[in-house]
Amino acid sequence: MSTIAAFYGGKSILITGATGFLGKVLMEKLFRTSPDLKVIYILVRPKEGQTLQQRVFQVLDSKLFEKVKEVCPNVHEKIRAISADLNQNDFAISKEDVQELLSHTNIIFHCAATVRFDDHLRHAVQLNVTATQQLLLMASQMPKLEAFIHISTAFSNCNLKHIDEVVYPCPVEPKKIIDSMEWLDDAIIDEITPKLIGDRPNTYTYTKALGEVVVQQEGGGLNIAIVRPSIMGATWQEPFPGWVDNLNGPSGLIIAAGKGFLRSIRATPMAVADLIPADTVVNLTLAVGWYTAVHRPKSTLVYHCTSGNLNPCNWGKMGFQVLATFEKIPFERAFRRPNADFTTNNISTHYWNAVSHRAPAIIYDFYLRLTGRKPRMTKLMNRLLRTVSMLEYFINRSWEWSTHNTEMLMSELSPEDQRVFNFDVRQLNWLEYIENYVLGVKKYLLKEDMAGIPEAKQHLKRLRNIHYLFNTALFLIVWRLLIARSQVARNVWFFIVSFCYKFLSYFRASSTLKV
Ligand SMILES: NC(=O)c1ccc[n+]([C@@H]2O[C@H](COP(=O)([O-])OP(=O)(O)OC[C@H]3O[C@@H](n4cnc5c(N)ncnc54)[C@H](OP(=O)(O)O)[C@@H]3O)[C@@H](O)[C@H]2O)c1
């Protein structure tokens, strides 16, 4: 019997962000391995005209929970959804619900966050810092609380090259930032945001770093740990390979490339793609929950949930395997293809591609307008290119994360726990994982029929040919305009033409001589 699974039996567990990508995989694993747990409280906000119950039903109705329903048929009864908005004071939870949470909660997994890289600083602080502070305050009033696990990100200190499993101080105290957000207006916040975030690329990484400082400063007296995952991808093994329902990060890129919208991205092919499967993050998080509650470490331990230092994969390899899966060809063939341009760090290629991505969208919208339909492609393409540009910081750099605490924890687990809560990424086969990821995106995120793969392949081929044709036409038009206006361009053109002519004459003469 797994010690960790037994530990969660009979427990009342509070999860924030349970309707998000990580939260769902976490709940699924808890129910599957500890079906005798008492209750999972989830803080949910009503959304898009759906009631709380409808939101819970939607989560449980997903394919992700199919196995759970076999081992825990009364799973509906074990979820207690509490109406809460983490943007509001005291989360806008009713008094009765607060009382219930305070009296019963044994373990907290704090997953909720805004993961939008370019969120307004006020909103990002509210959710990633202030809400964490408020949750800690609630936690300090819970007599039965055994552990508080805070989910952060490995990129909270991405301004450093080497990152240790420690909480780094921030130049401005989080409390001062929280206070200032209350009285500064949006225009001033916009002005000071670049100065506050300093050498971090966005408000997300900055506020996640502030959140960690809050946890360390205000979690005194609680058993707290911080888990820092890197870029979370589809599941590796559990409950089945390739499950994903989130457009963030690589999934969005895979869809854009698979649909033929994105031909290349400016990535450094040798930079480490620090991807980590969602089920690996969940296994580590549950092991951390157990260890923190049972062993009660004296200080707040930080655990890096990363792959780069134990089993590195780079963006080049990932790009070729994505391509290989699209085309149903072996990795080696995709790798050898001369036009395999999924990743390139060539800046001129990048700008050329930005033009050649936008121009067809504009033409297509023109066609839609002509035929009386609503144009949508330019907007979509602009959004996509903006997302890609926000990701560029992360796909052109490598970081080193130390993993002493994570490795220590692995050595503390029994062989059975190491098997049931496996977070050893050294066992991960990247090519297999990426293939399952791409197929999972098609199946679980886009909900497309797998029988349509040959047709999709044909479609991709057609789009590729249109792209080449378009690039050639665009190149010829630009070249023609240049020749008409620039003497240098005319000289280059005459040089090329005369060079080709001489080469052909030489070739003809030498073949005549042979005869
Ligand atoms: N995704 C990654 O690659 C990645 C990598 C490293 C670390 N992380 C960390 O992992 C955690 C989970 O990320 P994720 O990818 O699962 O994010 P996600 O899918 O965007 O989920 C975010 C969750 O937070 C909830 N939430 C947001 N605002 C809320 C509010 N005002 N009140 C109540 N709930 C609110 C969302 O609820 P709704 O369903 O109502 O929106 C959702 O359940 C975050 O702390 C993130 O920083 C993620």
* Amino acid letter for position 257: A
pLDDT of residue 468: 77
Q: Of 14, 22, 116, which is best to mutate to test ligand 1, by the most ligand atoms within 8 angstroms of its C-beta?
A: 22
Q: Which atom from ligand 1 is nearest to the alpha carbon of 47?
A: 40
Phi, psi of 297 (to 5 degrees): -55, 150
Residue 50's DSSP bridge partners are: 47
Residue 305's DSSP bridge partners are: 229
In order of 134, 135, 394, the CA distances from 86 in angstroms are 9, 9, 28
* Amino acid letter for position 369: R
In order of 256, 258, 320, 382, the CA distances from 262 in angstroms are 5, 8, 14, 12
pLDDT of residue 514: 55
Q: Which atom from ligand 1 is nearest to the alpha carbon of 248?
A: 1
Q: Which atom from ligand 1 is nearest to the alpha carbon of 88?
A: 31
Expressed in angstroms and rounded, the spacing between residue 16 Cα and the centre of ligand 1 is 8
Closest residue by Cα to atom 1, ligand 1, is 232
Q: Ligand 1 within 6 A of 151 CB? A: yes
Closest residue by Cα to atom 11, ligand 1, is 111
Residue 162's DSSP bridge partners are: 400
Q: Ligand 1 within 6 A of 231 CB? A: yes
Q: Ligand 1 within 6 A of 138 CB? A: no
Token representation of residue 40: 């999972």
Q: Which atom from ligand 1 is nearest to the alpha carbon of 249?
A: 3
* Amino acid letter for position 117: F
d(CA 204, CA 197): 9
Kindly report whether the peptide bond that precedes residue 239 is cis, defined as omega within 30 degrees of 0: yes
Q: Please, which residues have CB within 8 angstroms of residue 481's CB and are 6 or more apart in sequence?
A: none
Q: Please, which residues have CB within 8 angstroms of residue 212's CB and are 6 or more apart in sequence?
A: 150, 152, 156, 167, 168, 226, 302
Q: What is the mean pLDDT of each run of 10 residues along the chain (515 residues)?
A: 96 98 98 97 91 93 95 94 95 97 98 95 97 98 98 98 97 96 95 96 97 95 97 97 90 85 83 96 98 96 96 91 82 67 53 66 84 84 84 94 97 98 97 94 86 71 75 83 86 85 76 59
d(CA 370, CA 88): 47
pLDDT of residue 424: 97
Q: Ligand 1 within 6 A of 23 CB? A: yes
Phi, psi of 485 (to 5 degrees): -110, -20
d(CA 335, CA 412): 41
Q: Please, which residues have CB within 8 angstroms of residue 38's CB and are 6 or more apart in sequence?
A: 10, 11, 12, 78, 104
Q: Kindly report the pTM of this predicted structure.
A: 0.88
